[in-house]
Amino acid sequence: MKRLLPLLMPVGLLLVLSGCLEEKTTIETPTEEGRSHPTSLSFSDQEMDVLRQSLDISQHINLPVTQVPSHIGRFAGVSDVRTTGSDARKALLGRVLFYDTQLSATGETSCATCHKQEIAFSDDLAFSKGINGAVTKRNSIALGSVPTFAPAVSGYGSTGDEESRAVQGRVKFFWDERAGTVSEQSTATIQDEIEMGRDLVELSQDLRRQELYKILSFKAFGTEELTPERITLALEKFTSSITSMNTRFDDLANREFFESREQLEQRFTASELRGRELFNQNCASCHGANLAEPTVNVANNGLEMSYTDKGLGDLSGNEFEAGVFKVPFLRNVALTGPYMHDGRFATLREVIDHYSENIVEHPNLHHNLRNAFGNVRRLNLSEQDKQALIDFLEMATDETLATNESVSDPFRR
């Protein structure tokens, strides 16, 4: 699933992080006056009596502060990402919604059915389970594979109680990028007849009658009227709170600007460092050297000559887009198999074998996978170099995401 190079990454990353300013999180930078923020989110005793019937959450919730790796932060001018009280209340509502099977028509599935926390909010099935015995048409993309899961551009609502809403930006969603925001993605997923099959209007009517959601909605929006738009905004706030910045890759990227090769060899294996070189030479031109944002949005990567699922080509009807799919983020990639839009590769080794020997010369093959003469550029890696790439990619695993309580299942099961 679940390539230009370092010099261009600061620009793209700055767009991603700046997109968080209004819609996702508050990016803290020093000011002369300084800023004060609430440090916790609290519920009354009466509210907790209701919430504890279904949820296992604390009465006082500390707001998270995510340290931004210095190799990212120095370009964006930030050192940490702080969640505001308003965002935290919406994210908590979104967290509950994310794990609630009421979002499906049959009560079989929740968002978490296809996006499991322990594997970076991906699915370990090639095609996920939907409702009524159906399965999805494509592999589920990991939600925990990005530094911040946010569109790159923010806009503002027009009415008093509307919050700033994300508009279509550089980072888009689904394998064919048909959704410009997380809200659009959530709407399509909830109402998809295979995945959840739930009408959003009916869902909002059902949820607003429940005491649990009355409390969470009022806490998040100042009203018990949990509309479809507020449901998807809350889900957007929750998914935006899923971050993957605590990786050994980030430690390496922080150090390689200032430390010598000899110093790096004291902390990282020769194979990991070789894998970093190979990645920069062969993969970063599409996926991004900092693993912060792909530098190519969509591409045909030569999986086969005739695609049953044509990706963007199915949407546009354009043969030049046949077999073109979203270029995925690679953080936590070691956890998120099977890989590609159809889950055809079970392991990272199979993925690397594809790029090493098996790229098909499709007419729409991305130019980064061709040489200067226009021929297919297969990597032809040695066994040692294949293992080095795997060792490097395993460094991109966030060691805390799988057990992060703030994004875990809040329900008493």
Q: pLDDT class for 77, splitting at 50, 70, 90? A: low
Query: Residue 300: is its pLDDT beyond 70?
Result: yes
Q: What is the pLDDT of residues 102-147, one digit of tens each?
A: 999 999 999 999 999 999 999 999 999 999 999 999 999 999 877 5
Query: Residue 376: is its pLDDT beyond 60?
Result: yes
Q: What pLDDT score was predicted for residue 67?
A: 78
Q: What is the pLDDT of residues 79-109, one digit of tens each?
A: 666 666 678 899 999 999 999 999 999 999 9
Q: What pLDDT score was predicted for residue 182?
A: 85
Please classify residue 403 by burial: count the beta carbons closer than 10 Å to its beta carbon, then call 0-12 exposed, 13-18 middle and 19+ buried.
exposed
What's the pTM? 0.86
Q: pLDDT class for 405, splitting at 50, 70, 90? A: very high
Q: pLDDT class for 1, splitting at 50, 70, 90? A: very low
Residues 14-24, mean pLDDT to the nearest whole number:
34
Residue 412 CB coordination number (10 Å) = 10
Q: pLDDT class for 38, splitting at 50, 70, 90? A: low
Q: Which residue type is seen at 71?
A: H
DSSP sequence for 40-71: EEE--HHHHHHHTTTB---SEEEPPEEEPPHH
Q: Could you report how far apart the first and last alpha carbons of the chain are, in Å?
A: 30
Q: What pLDDT score was predicted for residue 84?
A: 65
377: which residues sit within 8 A by CB, 6+ positions away? 359, 369, 370, 371
Q: pLDDT class for 75, splitting at 50, 70, 90? A: low
Q: pLDDT class for 158, splitting at 50, 70, 90? A: very low
Coil, strand or helix at 320: helix
Q: What pLDDT score was predicted for residue 31?
A: 32
Q: What pLDDT score was predicted for residue 408?
A: 96
Q: What pLDDT score was predicted for residue 79?
A: 62
Q: Kindly state the tokens that stand for 322.
A: 């046949």
Helix (H) or strand (E) holding 325: strand 325-326
Residues 246-266, mean pLDDT to the nearest whole number:
95
Distance CA 144, CA 336 (A): 9
Q: What pLDDT score was predicted for residue 130?
A: 97
Distance CA 236, CA 392 (A): 31
Which domains, ranges and CATH numbers included, belong to the chain? 6-241 (1.10.760.10), 248-394 (1.10.760.10)
Q: What pLDDT score was predicted for residue 19?
A: 35
Q: Kindly state the tokens that stand for 326.
A: 């979203």
